[in-house]
Amino acid sequence: MPDLPTLALFCAFTLGLLVVPGPAVLYIVTRTVAQGRSAGLISVLGVHAGSVVHVAAAALGLSALLAASATAYTVVKWGGVAYLVWLGVRNLVRRGGGGEEAVELRVQSKRRLFWEGVVVNVLNPKTAIFFLAFLPQFTTAAAPIGPQILLLGLLWIVLGMASDGTYAMLASALAGRLRASARVQRRLEVGSGLVYLGLAAWLTTEKA
């Protein structure tokens, strides 16, 4: 298994990567601003439940298959694009109430928020390939690779939940007054839709 200095170096590199806002952070922040702190934290859980899938796949060697098979990569990639486009268009065409009066923000169920987070992360094949490329750099040939990747992946998830949870808490603290009017609510819905479409556009540019 990796020794303590190697694990410390891995944690340092991981935190450096996680604190830079990426698609997952944008998704979590948007959900937090739109629906509140609990929605953001549930989105964090969903995103990193998706990370569990990628870690398990990497540990079992399935990520190697995805990286080697152009067909498998393409299917997962475009499935993710289609889902993100659907989410984005749904938010853009949703009709708000209009006016400036205070309104109750439309809240999705906790289950839906969680599974949207899972799907957004699971349907990103670059995450699987990233784990395949990054995690093995901190393993040792003196021990079985699978358990080492599993350990490193679990560390990644713990650090990721801490980092993304911090983003959700900060977004919640800054967003309270933004949800006071129907106009702002509609802008948040449009912003959320644009984020989904932006994620889809980003995914189309990524290559295996």
Q: Give the pTM.
A: 0.71
Secondary structure of residue 144 in the 3-state scheme: coil
Which of these ranges, 57-61, 77-81, 170-174, 203-207, has the smallest mean pLDDT? Answer: 203-207
Q: Where are the domains of the chain?
A: 4-205
Per the model's pLDDT, the better-predicted residue between 7 and 71 turns out to be 7
How far, rounded to the nearest angstrom, does the alpha carbon of residue 97 sit from its chain's CA centroid? Answer: 30
> pLDDT (tens digit, 9 = 90+) per residue, 94-137?
665 444 444 344 567 888 889 988 987 887 766 777 777 778 77
Q: Please check whether residue 101 is in contact with residue 52, taking contact to mean a CB–CB distance below 8 angstroms.
A: no
pLDDT at res. 152: 92
pLDDT at res. 148: 87
Q: Which segments of the chain does DSSP mark as H helices, in order?
A: 4-18, 23-35, 37-60, 62-68, 70-93, 110-122, 125-134, 145-175, 182-205
Whether 34 has a pLDDT exceeding 50, the answer reads yes
For the stretch 13-27, what's the b/e string if a residue is b when 16 or more beta carbons lie within 10 angstroms of its beta carbon?
Answer: ebeeebeeeebbbbb
Mean pLDDT of the chain: 78
